[in-house]
Structure formats: C-alpha cells, structure tokens
Amino acid sequence: MLNITRIIIVALGLAGLYPAAGVAADKVPPGNRNAEQPAIPGASVRRTKAGRTTFDLKYEKVRDLLRNDSSLIAKIKKTSSAYGIAPIHMVGAIVGEHTYNVDAYDSLQSYYVKAASYAGNSFRFGYKDESISDFVGRPEFADCNGYQDSYRLWSCREDVWQDRFRGQTVGGTSYPDNRFSAVFFQPFYAGQTFGLGQINPLTALMLSDLVHEKSGYPKLDENDAAGVYKAIMDPDISLAFMAAVIRKSIDDYKEIADVDISGNPGLTATLFNIGNSQQRARALATRRASGAANWPEENYYGWLINDRLEELESLL
C-alpha cells in the first residue's frame, strides 16, 4: 500500500505542481503479476490459424532466428546500450511481435531484402485526396505547431484527431471512427506494421528526434512516406526505433507514475505491444494515488516474455 507522503507526491506530480520524477521510483518486482497467461485476442488467434501454424511454432522460429544470428544479437546489444536499456527488452519485443503478430523470416538478410523491395516506390500518407501535410495544416492543429520535438508534435496531432475528427464529418469530409495511424499512415492495408521491429509509421514519426539524437539517423518527414518505410523496415534503423519505444515507455512510467519498469521485460514488452505509454502511465498514477493499484500488469504478450525469460536471456 502506498504511504500518504507518496500519494501526495504523485497527486501533485499529476497536477504539474511537483516533480514526481525527483522521487526514487518504486521498482516493479520481477516476473508476472498473473499466474496464468491473460487471454490472447481473437484476431491474433485467427491470423495464426490462417497461417497454418501455432504460437509455439512461431515462438520457436523467432527464438531460433535470434539464437543462430550472432550479428543480430550484436546489433541488439549495441543499440540497447545507446539507449540505456538492457538488451533483453529488445529481445522480448522482437519475440512478442513475431509470436503473436507476424511470422519471422528465416534470416536477418530476408528483412534487408524485404526493405529493399520498397525502395523507390511512390506512395504518400493521407486520406482520400487529402495528404497528411494538408490535413495537419488545418486550423484545428494550430496549437500543436508550437511544439519543437517530434514526440510532442505528433502526440498533439493525434489528440486533435481523436477529439475533433475521429468518426465525425468536418468541412464536408466524413472521417472514419479509427485510429489516426490507421486512417492516414497505412497506404497499403489496414493494421500494417513492418520489419524486424514491427514499428508503425506514426510511431516512427513521433520518435524521429530521439532516434536522430541517439543513433544519428536522419529525421523523418511525413511528406516522404518512402523514407519513413525505409526507416521502419531496414533492420538496423528499425532496431533504433524499437529501442526508442522501450526507452520512452520506461521514462514515462518513471516520470509520470513513479514506477520503475526497467527490470521487468514483460512490462516493456506489453507496452511495446499496446502503445500509448504516456496515457497508460497517467492512468496508473491515478490508480496508485487512490490506492486502487500498486503495480502495472503484463498482458498475454508480455506474460510470455516473463514466462520464458531464462531461455530468452540465454540468447544474449
């Protein structure tokens, strides 16, 4: 149970009156909070059955890819070091994505070949006849223009989409009741993520500044859709974006919810899967301040990582 001092600190931090990050964060214990694996979504089950495989077989395939590719493991270790995270967090995210969302290729080289197949393609981000640059140029997005960093800028734009456009008709255009990333950033088909890291284009745009700072890759431009896809499909660059996602989720939970998840790969894997770490950290902080919850919980995806942690750590 939280003590009264910590409750006051967290509450003041939520109000922006006290720097909650200045207090030593509570370290989440290792392992899973749930004894049994939470339910796997039906969409993942159907996708796996359609591929005539099983989750166990997909897990074994991606595990073996990592086990047999010392070059990939070296890249993971180097990238994780640049972002100040343990490499097991990146391994967990890769294993989770290729167990529940997509099937792993047989070799790292296959990812490079797939990335090259998109090079030079002509496509854009937009909805119907409206490009993304025209869309975010609307007056509704004016307040976002003051943000200089890519994460705050695109987070603001996503919030405006959610509040002012999603499922509504604006200026004679009817917009779908769907996520910003699904409507404007998926020119090929819905639900798409790509490459070794399975990063979606909007996430890449959000984390562009952090990746530029830590890894030196060029900043991304929403008007250069092919450039964004190169970044998320090229294994080397994609690993940097994976590390950035994980770094951001750890920071969000520490700064907002006063919780240190850096020692629990199942939780970082969960957040890699479900996204929106900032909003989820705020919700957790509110629950903790009221005494309703003490620790975040892993989902089915993160549960697997903690459950197989010893085996996965042996890959490193």
Same domain? For 148 and 263 the reply is no
Structural domain includes residue 46: yes
pLDDT score for 47: 76
* CA nearest to 137, candidates 157, 117, 121: 157
Q: How many CA atoms lie within 13 A of 175 on its CB side?
A: 22
**pLDDT for the residue 15:** 44
Same-domain status, 16 and 75: yes
Q: What is the C-alpha separation between 309 and 163, in angstroms, rounded? A: 40
Count of CB atoms situated within 10 Å of the CB of 270:
28
Q: Where are the alpha helices (DSSP H) in the chain?
A: 4-14, 42-50, 55-67, 70-82, 87-100, 108-116, 132-136, 150-160, 180-184, 201-206, 208-215, 225-233, 235-257, 265-274, 277-290, 300-307, 309-314
Distance CA 80, CA 247 (A): 9
Rounded Cα distance, 212 and 38, in Å: 36
Structural domain includes residue 185: no
- Same-domain status, 114 and 18: yes
pLDDT at site 8: 40
Report the pLDDT value the prediction gives residue 7, as an integer from 0 to 100.
Answer: 42
The pLDDT score that the predictor gives to residue 19 is: 38
Same domain (yes/no): 10, 105: yes
Are residues 90 and 250 in contact, defined by beta-carbon separation less than 8 angstroms?
no
Q: How many domains in the chain? A: 2
pLDDT for the residue numbered 89: 98
Check whether residue 170 and residue 247 sit in a common domain: no
In a domain, 286, yes or no: yes
| Residue 303 domain-assigned (yes or no) | yes
Helix (H, G, I), strand (E, B) or coil at 27: strand
The conformational region for residue 291 under phi > 0 = left, psi -120 to 50 = alpha, else beta, is left
Pair (56, 134) in one structural domain:
no
Please check whether residues 108 and 241 belong to one and the same domain. Answer: yes
Instruction: Give yes or no: residues 33 and 94 share one domain.
Output: yes
Question: Token match 């549960």: residue?
Answer: 303
CA diameter of the chain: 59
pLDDT at residue 17 in the model:
34
Q: Which residues are within 8 A (CB) of 15 and not within 5 positions of it... i.e. 6 or more apart?
A: none
- Do 25 and 60 belong to one domain? yes
Q: Which residues of 278-314 are buried (b: 16+ CB within 10 A; e: fewer)?
A: bebbeebbeebbeeebebbbbbbbbbbbbebbeebee
Going by DSSP bridges, is the β-strand pair 130-131/26-27 parallel, antiparallel, or unpaired?
Answer: unpaired
Q: Is residue 183 part of a domain?
A: no
Range of the domain at 238: 4-119+191-201+210-219+228-314
Same domain, 167 and 46: no
Please tell me whether residues 232 and 92 are part of one structural domain. Answer: yes
Burial 136-155 (b: 16+ CB within 10 A, else e): beeebbeebeeeeebbebbb
Mean pLDDT by 10 residues, the chain (316 residues): 41 42 79 94 82 88 94 96 98 94 77 72 86 96 95 96 96 93 78 74 96 97 90 91 97 96 97 93 93 90 97 96
pLDDT of residue 120: 64
Tens of pLDDT along 74-85?
Answer: 999 999 999 999
Tell me, yes or no, whether 148 lies in a domain. yes
| 21 inside domain | yes
- Count other Cβ atoms within 10 Å, centred on residue 16: 8
- What pLDDT does residue 23 have? 59
In this structure, are 159 and 233 located in the same domain?
Answer: no
Whether the Cβ atoms of residue 264 and residue 270 lie closer than 8 Å to each other:
no
Residues 6+ apart with CB under 8 A from 253: 25, 259, 260, 261, 277, 281, 284, 296
In a domain, 27, yes or no: yes
Q: How far apart are CA 8 and CA 11, in angstroms?
A: 5
- Residue 252 in 3-state DSSP? helix
Contact yes or no for 246/272 (Cβ under 8 A): yes
pLDDT at 253: 97
